[in-house]
Structure 1
Amino acid sequence: MRFSLFSTLTTGWQYSRVWPTKTELNAIFPENKVIYLTKQGARYLPVLAVLTAVAQLKLLGPDFLGQILAMMLLLVSMPLQGWYWLGVRANSALPPALINWGNEIREQIQQHSQSQGIPAAPKNYFDLARLLQLAYQQLDKTVMRRWF
């Protein structure tokens, strides 16, 4: 499947909002680390890019303006790289073991809750993120600890 850059970035940003950032998921999925680093990068890297550009401009002078701008663009684009990775990951297909695990979680949600908004069987990581988010909201901690 081919996705445009903008839709992949948007999907990655949405995926970072939906994914449950629970410590027990750290051992299985790298999403928590990527989401944390992307959020911190989006917060601090633009400021760092401006500060280092000003410092380099004072020390090196305007002769190095091209290199300074390239460095600024690199620093500012790092959160975009994180959202791109998350967007690609969100649209990738789940391995069979995770599909089975997602189906087990879905069955547990159906048994323990009366809501009708239960998602379908997960096919990609975005579907799994929605299912895990719903499971953490509706199931108690003892049921969730059984899987980890």
Structure 2
Amino acid sequence: MKMSVIELIKLGQKYLKLWPEKPELAHYFADYKAVQASRFVCKYFPALAIFTVIMQLYIASGLVMGQGSVEAALAALPQALFYGLFLLTMPIQALVISGVKADKLLPPSLASWYRSGIEKAKQQGQTDGEQKFNRQALESISKLAVYKPRYIDLAKLLQITFYTASIQNQRDR
């Protein structure tokens, strides 16, 4: 499906929000590490870009050695802005790449695992009734049954199953 860059960024944000933060997923999905890295970049790189610009201007001005001048800082401004803008584009790149990944179809082996996971979740929800899953979770799972699942559908399935499992664990306590 053809999407604009803005749509890809929004899809990437949604994908990063949906993917559960469960370390055990790293053993089963290679995407877990990519999602964690993208989250890290989106969270810390804007501040790193500002810090980089400020530090480059501070060091270039000569204030560190006690001989500061505004002219020296202004001379270093283009280079500082270049590095700052480069670091600011990293989160955008991470979101675009995540959006592209979220829109890709699952490989056949993972798609069959996805379909069996949906069926198991439906069966578990129907046999346990209201105790295991609430109605919203069952409706969400039934909406996920797609002919050609994508990575964002996998993230939704994992989010729903981990959410309902955490609710069940809280009830059991």
- Pick the TM interval, shorter chain: 0.7 to 0.9
* Matched positions, count: 140
The aligned runs of 1:101-140 (5 Å cut-off) are 101-114=113-126, 115-118=138-141, 119-121=144-146, 123-138=149-164
Looking at structure 1, the residues matched to 56 and 83 of structure 2 have their Cα atoms a distance apart, in angstroms, of: 10
Distance 1:31 1:50 in 2: 29
3-state SS of 1:113 partner: helix
Would you say the 8 A contact 2:12–2:102 is kept in 1?
yes
Give, as a single letter, the amino acid of the residue that structure 2 aligns with 1:46. Answer: P
TM-score, normalising length: structure 1: 0.83
Q: Deviations over 1:66-104 (max 9, x none)?
A: 221110011112111111111000000111101110111
Q: What is the aligned-residue identity percentage?
A: 33
Residues 50-69 of structure 1: pairs in structure 2 closer than 5 A: 50-60=50-60, 61-69=73-81
* TM-score, normalised via structure 2 length: 0.72
**Runs (4+) of structure 1 moved beyond 4 Å?**
none
More helix by percentage: 2
**Which of 1 and 2 has greater Rg?**
2
Map 1:1-148 → 2, pairs under 5 A: 1-60=1-60, 61-114=73-126, 115-118=138-141, 119-121=144-146, 123-138=149-164
Q: CA RMSD in A?
A: 1.9
| Unmatched tracts of structure 2, length 5 or more | 61-72, 127-137, 167-173
1:44 deviates by 2.3
Task: Tell me how far apart the structure 2 counterparts of residues 12 and 85 of structure 1 sit (CA, whole Å).
Answer: 7
The residue type equivalent to 2:102 in the other structure is A
